[in-house]
Structure formats: structure tokens, C-alpha cells
Amino acid sequence: MDRASFFSPQAGRDISAPPVSSARFSIGDVVRHRMFGFRGVIFDIDPVFANSEEWYESIPEDMRPPRDQPFYHLLAENDENSYVAYVSQQNLLADAEAGPVDHPSLDEMFEGFRNGRYRLRRSLSH
């Protein structure tokens, strides 16, 4: 199968990816982490792992997800903090609360929250 490539700023290199990826979630979806319970809004999707090797190796081996699946960039929150998270598809669930997320960067990327999801600002969509 032919593979496409894209440059990943986090990895600092080109990443090889299948030409078609099966992302379960979309930009603007509110999701929850399967193991750690934090919530977040998806603002970018990588078709396969595209972060640094150091980041990948920092995950305990028994919990390390396969690289050949979509990875999502989230504006995330837990009870104490707001932050950016990078999470494999296997570790995300649709958020049953379907309520808004309280992240300070939301207004920079999204406009409006309706039917359990955020709408990307027109100036950022392509």
C-alpha cells in the first residue's frame, strides 16, 4: 500500500502514514480519556503517531499504544488544570456528559458549542 507523508513539528521529521485513516472522532468533538477520565475538545488529528520518540518512550511499556492509529490533540481539562493532551484513539471515548469544556484556549479555536460539539472558527478551517 502506498503511504503518504506529512511533517510533524512535534517529532521534528516527516511521518509516513496510510493514505486513508479511520479516525473515529472529529475536530470539535468532546471526548473523555478511557483510563484517566479527563475531558477535552479535539483540535487536531494525526493519522498515526506523530510526536517525539522521547514522548512515546515516556509512556510505560505496558500502557504504550500502537503507533498505527489516529492520535488526537486535545484542549483538555481535569479537576485541577487545563492543558493540551496528545491521546491515541484507543484511549478516547465519546463524552457522555455532552457539556461544554472550560479551557482558556477554546475561544481562540472554536466558536459556539451546539449538540455536544464545538464549531471550528472559519478562519482556521480549510
As a whole number of angstroms, the distance between CA 98 and CA 109 comes to: 19
Task: Please provide the DSSP assignment of 29-71 as one string.
Answer: BEEEETTT--EEEEEEEESS--S-HHHHHTS-GGGPPPSSS-E
Identify the band that residue 97 occupies on the pLDDT scale cut at 50, 70 and 90: confident
Residues 21-44 have pLDDT tens digits of 688 999 999 999 999 999 999 999
Q: Is a pLDDT exceeding 70 seen at residue 1?
A: no
Q: Could you give the CA distance from residue 83 to residue 118 in angstroms, rounded to a whole number?
A: 17
Instruction: Give the CATH number of domain 23-119; options: 3.60.15.10, 2.30.30.390, 3.40.50.1820, 1.10.3720.10.
Output: 2.30.30.390
Residue ranges of domains in the chain: 23-119
